[in-house]
Amino acid sequence: MINKWNYQSPTPEQIHKRDELAEVLKLSPTLCLLLVQRGISSVEEAQHFLRPNLNNLHDPFLMPDMDRAIVRLNRALGNKERILIYGDYDVDGTTAVALVYKFLEQNSWSPNLDYYIPDRYDEGYGVSYKGIDYAVATGVSLIISLDCGIKAVEKVEYAKSKGIDFIICDHHMPDKILPDAVAVLDAKRTDSQYPYEHLSGCGVGFKFMQAFAISNSIPFARLRHLLDLVAVSIASDIVPITGENRILAYAGLNQLNYSPSNGIKGILDVCGLTGKEISVSDIVFKIGPRINASGRMMKGKEAVDLMLSKDMVFAKEKSENIDQYNDDRRELDKKITDEAIAELEQYENLQEQRTIIIFNKEWHKGVIGIVASRLTEKYYKPSIVMTLSNGMITGSARSVTGFDIYKAIESCKDILENFGGHTYAAGLTVRQENLELFKQRLELFAQQNLDTEQMTPTLDIDMELTLGQINQKLFNELKTLNPHGPDNQKPVFVSHNVRDAGTSRLVGKNMEHLKLSLIDETVRSSVPAIAFGMYQFGKEILSGAPFDICYTIEENTYNGNTTIQLMIRDIKMR
């Protein structure tokens, strides 16, 4: 599918701000323009962005109910009450449970801690009655829920009737009515004055523990070793890497690279990442999927067991299990994706539809979210993949840029049993008899709110460069923009009228990739580039025809030598 290239020349105001920053900070105009494009226009903002510092974290007590949560937690610990730490089965939920459990275990005087991860198939997402009954049976009087609970009004009421209090730590969108918990920690609350609303679920758990440390005069340094878990959650949950998340992700990546916990070390080993510099991409594509695979294929609790591991032998064994689950998940994901595409290709009106909603009662619940992502990538339409679970239809949704799938699903809430999520990823449960009505209403919402332009894959371009501007100094400056993620994506550049230097060739098992050697009027020596899967341009490029490229600038290490290499995102022949 051809991408639309979205490039806007800098405005006079942006150029003025760029020049101001470059003069004061003694940085290149290229880097300063990239900062301005990210909404950073003052010297102070630029300094904070380029040098993320844990001293700039917000006061956790600015979050609504934080003081109440700390009073209740301190009382529970002081009275040696039994506390259950409860979290969702995905990466964000399991890292959050591991973080809170680990910190309370190390810094409290209560041995009465337990943790609980619901079963994806038996209990579904979020707080479950079965989980509360487990708490009752084991003598729990306080549940701390992480990455879930913001909509658990009836379940919190049920727990209360059993003499159990709740502290909810969540980051999902709340309804108008909040659960009647002792405390509801969620920066997305409508009454929240907390300065940053995009924390991950694990991030909210971290802020809770930061407040606990303050209230008990525990040095912040004793929280630092938990930041690898926060970084894994931020990258895996695709939350913006801006503001406080940028500080936490930056510090967490340092922890991940230099002193990861035993459990994370075990995962790094099976990923082949030991001894390498770990990036956000490594978390997204290697570490996160393995942690997720535990909850998708078996039990999410096993991922928490691993992350809490104090013994490397145990960590190695658990990591190998999780690696196998991930292999199984990949096979299943490919099989179901192929089945879904085969079925969709039979639809007569697929082109006209604004949404893709597909149901098969046999599909594995653990991979329908991944399949929805695959369909969104292929067809570039909001996609919902559904299966049967415990007599109900459960679905996982993914969206395209600019279309809020959570709001779309929320517009159908009167016929849904449950729903939740974010702008671009959500989940829902619907009765079988309401499925067709749900499909019709969601499609109607999309017809009214989704432009056809939004269904064209768009490549956002930051800046135009000549090949002569690309050098090691520029690459070193670009590294200061790390870590990358939503709202701070890796810069994409465009260069026009480039040509093959004479040594470009097709590579790969099936000759499907282009290994390029590029020149333009500004360079004497060629610039290396790789274009994965773009074999179709090979004939024209090798003939010497000029073309335009969109790319990111990377480093490539081969035989011990490290060089700059362009990672081509798209090509247009002139």
pLDDT digits (tens, 9 = 90+) for 341-353: 999 999 888 888 9
pLDDT digits (tens, 9 = 90+) for 12-39: 999 999 999 999 999 999 999 999 999 9
CATH number, domain with residue 384: 3.10.310.30
* Residues 206 and 88 reside in one and the same domain: yes
pLDDT digits (tens, 9 = 90+) for 330-385: 999 999 999 999 999 998 888 889 999 999 999 998 899 999 999 999 999 999 99
Residues 564, 467: Cα–Cα separation, whole Å: 12
In terms of Cα–Cα distance, which of 496, 503, 495, 502 is closest to 474?
495
- 214: tokens are 């303050």
* Residues 157 and 95 reside in one and the same domain: yes
* Residues 466 and 448 reside in one and the same domain: no
Query: Which of residues 455, 487, 504 is at a domain's end?
Result: 455
With 60 as the cut, is the pLDDT of residue 152 above it? yes
Query: Which of residues 455, 487, 521 is at a domain's end?
Result: 455
Measured in whole angstroms, the distance separating CA 130 from the mean position of its chain's CA atoms is 28
Residues 242, 488: Cα–Cα separation, whole Å: 7
pTM of the model: 0.90
Write down the residue that tokens 């009737």 correspond to. Answer: 161
Residues 500, 396: Cα–Cα separation, whole Å: 44
In this prediction, residue 522 carries a pLDDT of 93
* Residues 93 and 175 reside in one and the same domain: yes
In this prediction, residue 430 carries a pLDDT of 95
Q: How confident is the model at residue 260 (pLDDT cuts 50, 70, 90)?
A: very high
* Residues 463 and 446 reside in one and the same domain: no
Spell out the alpha helix ranges (H) of 450-524.
472-478
Helices 262-271/227-236 angle, 10° precision:
50
* Residues 415 and 531 reside in one and the same domain: no
Does a structural domain hold residue 325?
no
Write down the residue that tokens 């099936």 correspond to. Answer: 510
Query: Which of residues 223, 240, 272 is at a domain's end?
Result: 223
In this prediction, residue 102 carries a pLDDT of 95
In this prediction, residue 366 carries a pLDDT of 85
- 245: tokens are 């998340």
- How many Cα neighbours within 13 Å face the side chain of 377? 7
* Residues 569 and 518 reside in one and the same domain: yes
Instruction: Establish whether the linkage from the previous residue to 52 is cis, with ω within 30° of 0.
Output: no
* Residues 397 and 417 reside in one and the same domain: yes
> Mean pLDDT throughout 408-419?
93
CATH number, domain with residue 463: 2.40.50.460
**Which residue range forms the structural domain that includes residue 469?**
459-573
The answer to which of 1-10, 93-102, 131-140, 424-433 has the lowest mean pLDDT is 1-10
Q: Output 466 or 348, whichever has higher pLDDT.
A: 466
> Mean pLDDT throughout 518-538?
93
> Mean pLDDT throughout 222-242?
94
Residues 167, 277: Cα–Cα separation, whole Å: 37
Does a structural domain hold residue 44?
no
In terms of Cα–Cα distance, which of 250, 201, 204 is closest to 224?
250
In terms of Cα–Cα distance, which of 144, 146, 145, 139 is closest to 112?
139
Q: Output 346 or 124, whichever has higher pLDDT.
A: 346
* Residues 408 and 442 reside in one and the same domain: yes
What would the 3-class secondary structure string for 249-296 be? HHHHHHHHHHCCCHHHHHHHHHHCCCCCCCCHHHHHHHHHHHHHHHHH
Q: How confident is the model at residue 228 (pLDDT cuts 50, 70, 90)?
A: very high
In this prediction, residue 107 carries a pLDDT of 79
In this prediction, residue 424 carries a pLDDT of 85
pLDDT digits (tens, 9 = 90+) for 176-215: 899 999 999 999 999 999 999 999 999 999 999 999 999 9
If one counts the domains in the chain, the total is: 3
